[in-house]
Chains A and B, each alone.
Chain A
């Protein structure tokens, strides 16, 4: 029996419906109002500490909703290697909160000892495939769980890239055994910023590889789309989402909203839109 089960909490799998990102301003409302969302996702690094209001809030929410832990700091694509101390903290959070899904990003974030605390894009080369796949494998072994790896939004592309991003991700999944977390908004933002074909991206990923989808809003700064998670999901991203679930089937879908965070009811309503699309898909399949 796991630590949570011994306290009457069923860890539970992540259902193939919509969930919402857990943000501190919603901690109390989520636990008190218990809105009808299928699951919650928390940023792993926010729950590294032993005590404090955040971990107490996650423990309360965890007793109600299935949990996914989503990391932003492992920097699995850094050529300087994986930070073992950070990995140990992720492991500790997994042991403590028993998430049903654990995810990270196909990116790098540190070089020469300096961390930029950002999801920096990789060059899409065979060398980067091998390094990321190796380090995803190291993390999976250390954490004792399969990871979902997310595509990041990008504002630049390395001139050295000679693989498509979807080819890169598929190869990493194949080599490491990880699953993929498809962020449809990131696909849209990167495709607009770098002149890529968003539909080709989705069609290029292997069916069966996608274990979760992220949806979020972005903002426009001149000609550049900025992935700020600060607004409603735009219509173009909803259309891409419909295309994605037609290909990958009904998978857990998260509404991310990290800046200009609205009332919980707004977030829940956005998740219900994803649920309606998943319902339509099931209706078509029936």
Chain B
């Protein structure tokens, strides 16, 4: 007699391929389980990528979800994770096509999905800088909110995302310039926000661990822009801790 493992493997094979042999009765009812698995997967994906679904429409989204599931089936008993590889799949699947921008939109939406269930850390105020001397400011290293994700795209993905928070929104002009910005958890929800290229470069450098002076240089900010950029990260409660780069002791 077949082992339990063999019986489950044959059932699983019949869920993937309706012509596969499986010793159950009534056999035609296997289609209920086959449909359940496909629908659960697709619905979960649609919850994670609502803007993408709105832009491509239900039929196209169903096709994308089916192709994605064939290559990347669920690997967890928690459906939340099925969308983890969707952006990378789209980047490969749509490479060079007029829909390549969907991969960047999917990355943005997956970040939003992650931020929606992330915690926020207590932010420090700009007063924390008072314990450092002026000559030390360029050596400060910041810890940013752990949920912070930064996105840069050749396409206007932040505009597309904002315009499609409702069903049946008019299409966004795809010839608009590329955009960059941030996604992060707030205590009361998620923030999805476009940033100017200078501020984006500066925050990206800080997030990568660069000291303040280096981040400013990378972003090409002048003195007045620096004051604004430094004030911005504190006002927006993005900074959780500040330390001096090793070798530049406290005042």
Contact = CB atoms under 8 A, between A and B. Distances in A.
Interface-central residue, A123, A224, A226, by most chain B CB under 10 Å? A123
B32 A158 contact: no
Contacts of A155: 29-30, 32-33
Query: Which of B12, B23, B80, B120 is packed against the most chain A CB atoms within 10 Å?
Result: B12
B251 interface: no
Interface residues of A, number: 47
A50 B119 contact: yes
A111 B77 contact: no
Interface stretch (A114-122, A165-173, A204-212): A114-122
A86 B2 CA distance: 28
Contacts of A33: none
Contacts of B37: 116-118
Given A45-B77, A86-B77, A160-B23, A51 B4 contact: no
Nearest to B34: A116
A48 interface: yes
Given A114-B74, A118-B37, A156 B30 contact: yes
B227 interface: no
B3 interface: yes
A50 to B, nearest CB: 5
B74 to A, nearest CB: 4
Nearest to B7: A123
A117 B79 contact: yes
A46 to B, nearest CB: 9
A55 B118 CA distance: 10
A156 B75 CA distance: 24
A224 B26 CA distance: 11
B76 interface: yes
Interface in A22-67: 45, 48-55
A52 B33 contact: no
B33 A83 contact: no
A72 B36 CA distance: 14
Contacts of A45: 77-80
Interface residues of B, number: 41
B129 interface: no
Contacts of B73: 114-115
B32 A224 contact: yes
A193 B11 contact: no
B79 to A, nearest CB: 5
Contact of A112 (B9, B30, B41, B80): B9
B32 to A, nearest CB: 5
Contacts of A75: 77
Contacts of A50: 117-119
A111 B24 contact: no
A43 to B, nearest CB: 10
A53 B116 contact: yes
Interface stretch (A6-14, A125-133, A245-253): A125-133
Given A108-B8, A156-B29, A193-B29, A79 B76 contact: no
Nearest to B82: A117
A115 B1 contact: no
Given A123-B7, A157-B24, A118 B36 contact: yes
- With a 10 A CB-CB cut-off, give which of A51, A75, A78 has the most chain B CB atoms: A51
Contacts of A120: 8, 11, 33
Nearest to A55: B117
A150 to B, nearest CB: 15
Interface string B40-51: 110010000000
B248 interface: no
B25 A156 contact: yes
A223 to B, nearest CB: 9
B185 interface: yes
Nearest to A132: B4
Interface of B: 1-5, 7-9, 11-12, 15-16, 23-27, 29-30, 32-33, 36-37, 40-41, 44, 73-80, 116-120, 185, 189
Interface of A: 45, 48-55, 72-75, 78-80, 83, 85-86, 89, 108-118, 120, 122-123, 125, 127-128, 131, 155-160, 193, 224, 226
Given A72-B77, A123-B4, A156-B29, 4 more contacts: A48-B78, A74-B77, A75-B77, A115-B73
